[in-house]
Amino acid sequence: MEQQETAELRKFVAPEFVFGMGARKLAARYARNFGARKVLVVTDPGVVAAGWTPEVLAALAAAGFPYALFDGVTPNPKDHEVMVGADLYRQEHCDIIVAVGGGSPLDAAKGISMVVANQRHILEFEGVDRVPVPGPPLICIPTTAGTGADVSQFAIILDTRRRVKIAIVSKTLVPDTALVDPEVTITMPADLTAATGLDALTHAIEAFVSNASSPITDLHALEAIRLVAGYLPTAVAEPHNLTARRQMMLASLQAGLAFSNASLGAVHALAHSLGGYLDQPHGECNAILLPHVIAFNFDAAAGRYVHIGEALGLALAGMPVAQQKQAVISAVKQLIAAAGVQETLSQLGVQRQDLAPLADRAFHDPCLVTNPRAPTRQDLEEIYEAAL
């Protein structure tokens, strides 16, 4: 594996996290540790219906903590949802946030935290290191194995007026505590298990080839790739297989630690554009785009993609580079298919006339900064076209 130059500095930030069965049950204990008086619980209707949010609410109540519930978060969390949640936080005089759910509630909770601490509109924080005041204590309980939002310094929010998903990146967004409990993922349906698992795979691959990677992020990224390759198909096929669920939650955690510190690349830039402009599901978009971005990037980071292929189980030593490239792309496609995702962008409703505006939006996404090959707008449009 190529080594980073020793003169290059790399930071690594992570929250305190508790990993394992039953971790979710520690929410009240951590609320007490933070000196909470009243808790805002951020979640969505699906997680409420699955029973995980009511369980957390009951535990808070049993421990004597009053709470306010904000369950108005939708997929691809919207700017106005964040502002409503922030208003509720203030009206109810809360002083801590507990987020229960997948990436959307966790990112919405981060957004609410930013708004209440800085007294500004959520869209004003777009970009890198633009959140001056840290928010109130944030405890995250992820209920999907894939987004990594529970450990990352990223929040992705949909600007509904511009129809663009904005990236907000700041170490002030790293949650104070993540309670990472594999048991809560048993209620995920197969399609969500696949989409979030492939999101974790994409996080790990993009972090590993990122031009901001480091030996520390590399360790987490490669192990996440191995875990997804080994356990995602089983988690999809056998939802109550706790071994597979545990390993996928570990993959999500490790991929989250990797991309939070190494950032991402063209797959996420392209997927963010799709999610903002056409409100498409993030995990599926990543899965559809990933092989095409690997094809575009491969020659700029061939050695790194070979290590990715080996983490996927391939024996690539001694192969010509062109064959290595095809083998890696084929292995990624096979894993995506094994998880049950076989759609194209056109099957998601993307049309050829959408490609130019989509490419233009993706071109301005900050995730492109760390992509190993700098694409033009035309390159991005061609990647979309290949994925149709």
Structure tokens at 267: 């797959």
DSSP 174: S
User: Is 280 in the same domain as 154?
Assistant: no
User: Is 166 in the same domain as 214?
Assistant: no
Q: Is residue 203 part of a domain?
A: yes
pLDDT digits (tens, 9 = 90+) for 295-325: 999 999 999 999 999 999 999 999 999 999 9
Q: Is residue 9 part of a domain?
A: no
User: Is 339 in the same domain as 383?
Assistant: yes
pLDDT digits (tens, 9 = 90+) for 237-286: 999 999 999 999 999 999 999 999 999 999 999 999 999 888 888 999 99
Last residue of a domain, one of 122, 154, 185: 185
Q: CA-based angle 49:54:55, to the nearest 5?
A: 120
Strand pairing report for 164-169 and 154-159 = antiparallel
* CATH number (domain holding residue 79): 3.40.50.1970
Confidence of residue 4 (pLDDT cuts 50, 70, 90): very low
Give the mean pLDDT of 89-97: 98
Residues 313, 53: Cα–Cα separation, whole Å: 38
- Taking the chain, what is the end-to-end CA distance rounded to the nearest angstrom? 34
User: Is 39 in the same domain as 155?
Assistant: yes
User: Is 361 in the same domain as 241?
Assistant: yes
Supply φ then ψ for residue 129, to 5 degrees.
Answer: 55, 50
User: Is 145 in the same domain as 244?
Assistant: no
User: Is 125 in the same domain as 38?
Assistant: yes
pLDDT digits (tens, 9 = 90+) for 146-164: 999 999 999 999 999 999 8
Residue 326 domain boundaries: 189-387
DSSP 78: B
User: Is 131 in the same domain as 222?
Assistant: no
Residues 240, 237: Cα–Cα separation, whole Å: 9
Higher pLDDT residue, 41 or 348? Answer: 41
Residues 144, 193: Cα–Cα separation, whole Å: 7
* CATH number (domain holding residue 305): 1.20.1090.10
User: Is 71 in the same domain as 220?
Assistant: no
Last residue of a domain, one of 160, 185, 210: 185
Q: What is the pTM of this model?
A: 0.96
Q: Is residue 284 part of a domain?
A: yes
Supply φ then ψ for residue 127, to 5 degrees.
Answer: 115, -160
User: Is 44 in the same domain as 137?
Assistant: yes
- CB-based contacts of 295, cutoff 8 Å, min separation 6: 325, 329, 386
Closest C-alpha to 106, from 145, 155, 35, 51: 155
Task: Give the model's pLDDT for residue 3.
Answer: 44
Q: Where are the alpha helices (DSSP H) in 168-301?
A: 190-209, 215-237, 242-262, 266-278, 282-297
Residues 65, 214: Cα–Cα separation, whole Å: 42
Q: Is residue 5 part of a domain?
A: no
User: Is 248 in the same domain as 268?
Assistant: yes
Mean residue pLDDT across the chain: 96
Q: How many domains does the chain have?
A: 2
Structure tokens at 126: 């777009």
Q: Is residue 105 part of a domain?
A: yes
Last residue of a domain, one of 134, 159, 185: 185
pLDDT digits (tens, 9 = 90+) for 112-154: 999 999 999 999 999 999 999 999 999 999 999 999 999 999 9
- Answer whether residue 5 shows pLDDT above 70: no
- Answer whether residue 75 shows pLDDT above 70: yes
User: Is 221 in the same domain as 100?
Assistant: no
Q: Is residue 8 part of a domain?
A: no
